[in-house]
Structure formats: structure tokens, C-alpha cells
Amino acid sequence: MHKRILLTILIALVSFGGFSQVRQKELFKTVEEYHESFVSIDSHADTPLWFLSEDYNFGERHHPEKSSNKIDLPRMEEGGLDAVFLAAFVGQRDRTPENYRNAYDKAHRIIDSIEVVAQRHAKKAALAVNPDDAEKLKAEGKRALYIGMENGFPLGKDLTRVQEFYDRGVRYITLSHTKNNDICDSSTDTVEHGGLSAFGRKVLAEMNRLGIMVDVSHISDDAFYDVIKLTHTPVIASHSNARALRNSPRNLTDDMLKAVAKNGGVVQVCVLSDYVKEMPRNPERDSAMSALRKKFRNFKNLTAEEEAQARHQWQTINKDYPPNIAHVTDLVDHIDHIVKVAGIDHVGIGTDFDGGGALKGVYDASELKNITAELIRRGYSREEIAKIWGGNFFRVFEAVVDYAEKVKEAS
């Protein structure tokens, strides 16, 4: 165990309310025992954006403040993280033939990069496609690397691509991102389809048929309720929080939380501070970010070279003007709320690391055990914490796979 992690946990515990040194050590031991006893998963990380850089090494421990990167294999081990869904993320662009082609090609390049990383670090990690792969790989001392697609834009208008990306290992699709696409409306765009489009309904049915989890993070409220009405399988919100605690359209209302519970799905809380707690603004940072957005046309229709430049300058701003961030206790408040509204069987963790996620106490993957420490402090049992850290998510994953197998048998 890295000494920095023990120190971080002990510092965090002091802020949690005056634990004695003896109790701090006891709690740390309990946290370690818990993480050994269950399989943990982070359902959403944008780390593959780093895989596209030639000088990035996933097997090397990176300094989070110096590199801005939040996940690598050493820090997964330190944080007790057994598995992660790596996002093949493609931002939304104008829906033109050229942009459809570019989005499709980029999604494949990202998946290629994930495969290369898995091969390069085969002694410590492996690609995973089935729910039980993570447990098997943990027994071998390896981390499980799953693939999710964030934004259905690479599908274009071609339904056959759902099968194509399934064959490449994609096991969930986040239906949209910050803008509307051909599948559905986004939570942060104007009304276009009024929920799912006709094509989106076909995509949903095809995902059900194949065994791809339906991710409702980022989609509009109307699209969410369309999914809940039409899907034959439990859904996931791979990185969303409770709107009652942070009023953002990206988060789920209490009625939506109850709908997820009735559906049998799971809401994976994320550590991106903007969706955890309303934070004081940083005028210098806001001004720098505004200038960056203006320079790169609000990050719309960028070339690959422009995307790399924008990403580099974004990281520079993060270093020069670090954002105000929420605390790990604020995140666990969301877990408490979702448990109260939806039940203990319908909450998990999807950090959104490397997509902006970071908290005081959970700044990177190495500090994930601080979530466990705070859950213990609040009285959650080992069984409940095991559900939050992966049991609930894998139950949904298994149900989605089981449904697809039954459909296949019946056909």
C-alpha cells in the first residue's frame, strides 16, 4: 500500500469528525479487508483520451496534479479498484456525412487504443466483456478493463453498427452526450425529438437484443422516460447524481430515481464537482475557459489536431486555475439520498475520472477507498458497501446478458 494513501485516508478521517489514532488504524484495516472481499468497479472513466497520446503509459503511476490524469494501473491498485469501464467517447458534432464518418472512425481508434493498452499490460490487466470476468481477473491479480461508448453519435443512422460495436467489446452505450443526436435529445440541449427518436427506439431494441446496457446519463428527461417505458432490461446511469442535492439537468430527480428502482436499474454516482455541489465560482478560471471555448468554436467540429491542442490548453488552465471542488462527504450525501429514495440495491459508483471528476479526498483513483471509509463512518454494512462498489452494477449487467441469451434461444 502506498504511504500517501494511508496518509490521505487518515487526514480525511480527521476531517470526518475526530477519530482517535487507534480508531483511524482500525478503520483503515477494515477498509482494506472490505476491498479484498468484494469486486469493485468504476462504471465510467474517460481515460482512453490519454491512450491516444503516444507518450502515455497506463502502467506508470502519474502525479495527478502534474499530469491531470486520474487513473492508471498503480493507482487502481492503491485505491482498491478492480475493474473500470473505459469510455470510447466521441463528442457531438453537426450531423453531416463527414462528421458521421469521423465519429465512427474515432470510436474505432479509441477501442483500438484500449486493446493495445490491454495487450501492453497483459500481466496486470485484461479486456473484459462478461459480468463475471472481473471476479475471474481479480483472482488472477489483474484489473478488468471493460469498454463503454459515451454518445451514440458514432452509430450515425446505421442500426447495424450496434452489432458491430458489440462485437468490438462495447457493453454499454450512453445514448447521447451534451447535444442532441439521431437517437435522442440531450439533457443539455433544446427539444428536437421530444425524447427518443424513431431510430432511437430501434437502437434501444437492438441493444436489448444483443445484451448491451442502456446508459441514461446525459439524456433528456423525456428520453429517460421513453427508455424506461420501452426497455426490456434494467438500465444504468453510468455517471449521474441526485438532482435534489444538486440541481443540474445532468442529475436525476427523485421521480427518476424511483423509476430506475422500479426498472431494476442502478444509478452510479460521479465525482465531478459540478454535479455534486454548487461551488463558488473562480472568475479567472471562468474567463480562461470562456476564451478557450471561443478559440475552439465551443469545441465543435474540431479537427484531430485542434482537439489535441484544445485538450492540452484545457489541462494547462486546470493547472494554472484549479477549479473549486466538492468533498468526498458531499458525494456520499448523494449516495445517502439515492438509498433513501430508490433503495440500497440501486446505487453504485461511476467517477467520470479524466472527464472532469475530482473531489477533495477522492482526487484520483488512488483515493477511492476514502469513499468506503466514509460509508463505514455513516454506518453502512459490509454487504451494503459491496453492493455500492459493484454488486448492484453487476446484477444489472447480468440481467441484461440473461435477457439477450433468452432472446437468442427463442429465435
Domain ranges within the chain, ordered by starting residue:
3-278+329-410, 280-324
Structure confidence at residue 11 (pLDDT) = 42
Q: How far apart are CA 26 and CA 5, in angstroms?
A: 15
Residue 53 CB neighbours (<10 A): 13
The answer for residues whose C-beta is within 8 angstroms of residue 109's C-beta and 6 or more apart is 52
CA distance from start to end of the chain: 51
Nearest in space to 62 (alpha carbons), one of 393, 378, 365, 302: 365
Q: Which amino acid is at 188?
A: T
Q: Which amino acid is at 268?
A: Q
Structure confidence at residue 401 (pLDDT) = 98
Q: How far apart are CA 396 and CA 411, in angstroms?
A: 23
Percent of the chain with pLDDT over 90: 80
Helix (H, G, I), strand (E, B) or coil at 404: helix
Minimum mean pLDDT among 66-70, 266-270, 281-285, 356-360: which range?
281-285
Q: Cα–chain-centroid distance for residue 194?
A: 26
Q: Which amino acid is at 336?
A: D
pLDDT classification of 20: cutoffs 50, 70, 90: low
Report how far apart, in Å, the C-alpha atoms of 346 and of each of 259, 349, 382 are: 11, 11, 16
Structure confidence at residue 297 (pLDDT) = 82
What are 205-233's pLDDT values in tens digits?
999 999 999 999 999 999 999 999 999 99
Rounded to 5°, angle at Cα 225 from 219 and 226: 90
Average pLDDT over residues 344-363: 96
- Do the Cβ atoms of 143 and 137 come closer than 8 Å? yes
Nearest in space to 175 (alpha carbons), one of 159, 158, 196, 194: 196
Tell me the average pLDDT of the chain.
92
Provide the sign of the torsion angle of the four alpha carbons 116, 239, 215, 336, taken in this order: positive
Pairing outcome for strands 143-150 and 125-127: parallel
What are 365-410's pLDDT values in tens digits?
999 999 999 999 999 999 999 999 999 999 999 999 999 999 999 9
Minimum mean pLDDT among 36-50, 116-130, 194-208, 296-310: which range?
296-310
Nearest in space to 44 (alpha carbons), one of 81, 91, 5: 81
Q: Which amino acid is at 133?
A: D
For the domain spanning 3-278+329-410, the CATH number is: 3.20.20.140
Nearest in space to 2 (alpha carbons), one of 100, 104, 77, 95: 77
Structure confidence at residue 3 (pLDDT) = 42
Q: How far apart are CA 303 and CA 375, in angstroms?
A: 44
Residue in the block written with cell 462498489: 389
What are 49-58's pLDDT values in tens digits?
999 888 899 9
pLDDT classification of 19: cutoffs 50, 70, 90: low
Average pLDDT over residues 284-303: 79
Helices marked H in 121-186 — which ranges? 133-139, 160-167
Structure confidence at residue 22 (pLDDT) = 66
15 has a pLDDT exceeding 50 = no
Q: How far apart are CA 39 and CA 93, in angstroms?
A: 37
245 has a pLDDT exceeding 50 = yes
Q: Which helix (H) or strand (E) holds 148?
A: strand 143-150
24 has a pLDDT exceeding 90 = no
Contacts of the segment 332-340: beta carbons below 8 A, 24+ positions apart? 332/371, 332/374, 332/375, 332/378, 333/245, 334/241, 334/242, 334/245, 334/246, 334/269, 334/276, 335/269, 335/375, 335/388, 336/378, 337/242, 337/244, 337/245, 338/242, 338/257, 338/267, 338/269
120 has a pLDDT exceeding 80 = yes
Q: Which amino acid is at 57?
A: N
What are 55-105's pLDDT values in tens digits?
899 999 999 878 889 999 999 999 999 999 999 999 999 999 999 999 999
Q: How far apart are CA 205 and CA 190, in angstroms?
A: 25
pLDDT classification of 306: cutoffs 50, 70, 90: confident
